[in-house]
Amino acid sequence: MGIEQKAGEMGVITTTLEQVVNWGRTNSMWPMLFGLACCAIEMMAAQASSYDMSRFGMELNRASPRQSDLMIVAGRVSRKMAPVVRHLYDQMPDPKWVIAMGDCASCGGVYNNYAILQGVDEVVPVDVYVAGCPPRPEGLIHGVITLHDKVRHEKLKTWG
């Protein structure tokens, strides 16, 4: 593992609470298994064989919001779906993060009309926006790594 060299004979490591908690949070971030539209297919591709997002500790997709930390809003959010998205977000336990995947979830994309919410940030607070229509799996993975970076630098006093 490598850790025993660092810990030495005593089996003790010294670190800050902030660091160890943030390390734990980033490396087992479980996304909610929840797809809306086209982007969900690319999200599936990101988790499948060629791109394999589990390399970043995200292999476990939870179908229940109660067991997930990360909500990937993959696709356009219609006015009928918006209350449901908010409801799902409210059901997730803290700490929780949101990635708006794709143009539609970020800003409405090509659909500027009565039916589509102009960005999911109107109903849930978004941490990372991923551009693209749909974003490539690499794009999503980059978004996830950006989020990890953000979480790793969170401060003790801002923990929710």
Partner 1 sequence: MSDIVAFRDVKVEELKHLLSPRALTGETMLLNMGPQHPSTHGVLRLLLELDGEIVVNCIPDIGFLHTGVEKNMESKLFQQAEVMVDRLDYLNPLGNNLTYCLAVEKLVGLDVPERAQTLRVLLSELTRINSHLVWIGTSGLDLAAMSVFLYAMREREMILDIFEMISGQRMMTTYIRPGGVWRDVPAEFEPAVREFIRIFPARLKEYESMLTNNALFLERTQGIGVISKEDCIRYSLTGPVLRGSGMAYDLRKARPYSGYEQYNFDVPTETAGDVYARYLVRVEEMRQSLRIVEQALDKMPTGPIRSNNRKFIPPPRSELGVSMEALIHHFKLWTEGYPAPKEGVYAATESPRGELGVYLEGDGGPKPYRVHLRTPSFISLQAMPLLTKGHFVADVVGIIGSIDIVLGDADR
Partner 2 sequence: MDEHLQPVVDALQARFGVAVHEYAGEVSLTVKADQIVEVCQSLRDDHAFEMLIDETAVDYYPEMEPRFHVIYQVYSMSKNIILCLRVPVDGTNPHLPTIETVWAGANWYEREVFDMFGILYDGHSDMRRIVMPADWQGHPLRKDYPLGYEEVQFTFNYEDVQRRKPHPKE
Question: Hey, is 31 helix, strand or coil?
Answer: strand
| 107 binds partner 2 per the rule CB under 8 A | yes
Asked if residue 145 binds partner 2 (CB under 8 A), the reply is: no
Q: Is 127 in the site for partner 2 (CB under 8 A)?
A: no
Interacting residues of 56 by C-beta distance below 8 A, sequence separation 6+: 141, 144, 145, 148
Which residues does residue 99 pair with via DSSP β-bridges, in sequence order? 72, 128
Residue type, 90: D
Residues 46-85 that bind partner 2 (CB under 8 A): 79-80
User: Residue 122's binding partner, choosing from partner 2, partner 1, none, with beta-carbon cut-off 5 to 8 A by kind?
Assistant: partner 2
10 class by beta-carbon count within 10 Å (0-12 exposed, 13-18 middle, 19+ buried): exposed
107 part of the interface to partner 1, by CB under 8 A? no
Contact yes or no for 31/70 (Cβ under 8 A): yes
Nearer to partner 1, 101 or 116 (CB): 116
Size of the site for partner 1 (CB under 8 A): 34
Query: Which residues touch 6 (CB under 8 Å, ≥6 apart)?
Result: 13
Note whether 86 binds partner 1 by CB under 8 A. no
Residues that bind partner 1 (CB under 8 A): 33-38, 40-42, 44-45, 48-50, 63, 65, 75-76, 78, 80-81, 83-84, 88, 110-116, 133-134, 136
Residues that bind partner 2 (CB under 8 A): 79-80, 86, 107-108, 112-115, 118-119, 121-125, 160
